[in-house]
Amino acid sequence: MPGFEFINDLEKKAILDLFEKNKKKYGTFPLFRPRKYVKKFEEKFANYIGVKYACCVTSGTAAIKVALIAAGVKKGDEVIIQSFTFVAPVEAIIDIGAKPVLVNVDETLNMCPIELEKKITKKTKVIMPVHMLGVAADMDKINKVAKKHKILVIDDNCEALGAKWGNKMLGAQSDMCTWSFDNGKTITTGEGGMITTNNKEFFKLCKEYMDHGHENNPKFPRGRDTHRIPGFNFRPTELTGIIGLVQLKKIGKIIKNNKFYSQFYIKLLKKYKGINLRKIPNKNKPLNDCVIFNFTNEKLAKTFVKKLNENNLVTKNVPDAIEWHYAMYWDHIFKLFGLNKSKLKQKLKKSSYILNRSVSLPIFANEKIGKVKNKIKIIKFILDKMLKNE
Ligand SMILES: Cc1ncc(COP(=O)(O)O)c(C=O)c1O
């Protein structure tokens, strides 16, 4: 699972070093200017993803809002988003005054590229695929639709840092990509986010918006700096930069361990006829921070989760936090756009059919092998009993 499992003395030492090095400068904003470590984190992160620019902000939600502003999304524009996503991108869209347009997910649990094309209108400004729970949306198909209709793609990769699309890191295929470093993510800085892009103008606009509109014009001191757009404050402190740099060094191990441990679950689950593993697009190398599968009916999924919980085992978001990850539950937001509960239900029939039968098992990347094997034993015991009784 995430970077929090790997927080140790290295992060602590980096923070103490920062204070030690700045001892003589106390009282001159060592946690803000000159943001040396944030800049280094941005550079290393961009390099890791294989893109030119990265802009660090205070959260993944902030990253999405900043990217949408940089893309020129305004009140009344439409942004296409999928039904199964954390609520954050929808919040960012409505915060700008734009309209979130829902597309169902398919068996990959990501945006259905076929339905996507049907949702494009003259008002569509951005397509926002969300790579859910470690697996990439089909970026080739989504980019093809976007190119045909000349629409920008901003992907939300908060949940799949470390996954690949073909030979490239996932996140390098779009106009802009947004990332989160909150406590549950592949690497964590406690709270934190990033926008990556190959487009210099988008990068500059992101930098300006997240810093009150400051252009950081080299001809002027900061107090006399120039501006061209209204901005906001989404600036991270040096603590984000310094922890991010340490965590980034650990990402290889996190990904390797995820893959190793997830294989135990996949091997077991493949033995059961009544179980289908999540469909993974061909070009995708997933993050493996969870293993998702579905049963033939909802009742079986519910029974399995009940037995799992009785044995002190948990799920990852599906179904334990589905209310925060599925638009079906967000009539408090979509009623603003004329969608009450029953209209949402009708619209999201396809997503519900898939999600209500699905279960996501978390992978803890720093777990002892004995503990993993014990969990596998328990899951096998539950499934043997359940599926035999079917
Ligand atoms: C898909 C997705 N998008 C956006 C976010 C928001 O990130 P943050 O918590 O850093 O604001 C999250 C966090 O859970 C997420 O899972």
75-94 residue pLDDT tens = 999 999 999 999 999 999 99
Phi-psi region of 295 (alpha: psi -120 to 50; beta: other; left: phi over 0): beta
Task: Judge if the beta carbon of residue 180 lies within 6 A of ligand 1.
Answer: yes
Task: Judge if the beta carbon of residue 289 lies within 6 A of ligand 1.
Answer: no
Whole-model pTM over 0.95: yes
Q: Does domain 3-248 have CATH number 3.40.640.10?
A: yes
Residue of 81, 158, 178 to test ligand 1 pocket, by largest number of atoms within 8 Å of CB: 158
Task: Judge if the beta carbon of residue 60 lies within 6 A of ligand 1.
Answer: yes
The answer to whether the bond into 34 is cis (omega within 30° of 0) is yes
Distance in Å, CA 10 to ligand 1 centroid: 25
Q: Which sequence spans correspond to the domains of the chain?
A: 3-248, 251-388
What pLDDT was estimated at residue 29? 59
What pLDDT was estimated at residue 105? 98
Q: Maximum CA pair distance of the chain?
A: 76
* CA 122 to each of CA 75, 77, 141, 151, 193: distance values in angstroms, whole numbers, following the listed order: 14, 9, 20, 10, 31
Dump pLDDT digits (tens) for 149-191. Answer: 999 999 999 999 999 999 999 999 999 999 999 999 999 999 9
| CATH tag, 251-388 | 3.90.1150.10
Dump pLDDT digits (tens) for 189-227. Answer: 999 999 999 999 999 999 999 999 999 999 999 999 999
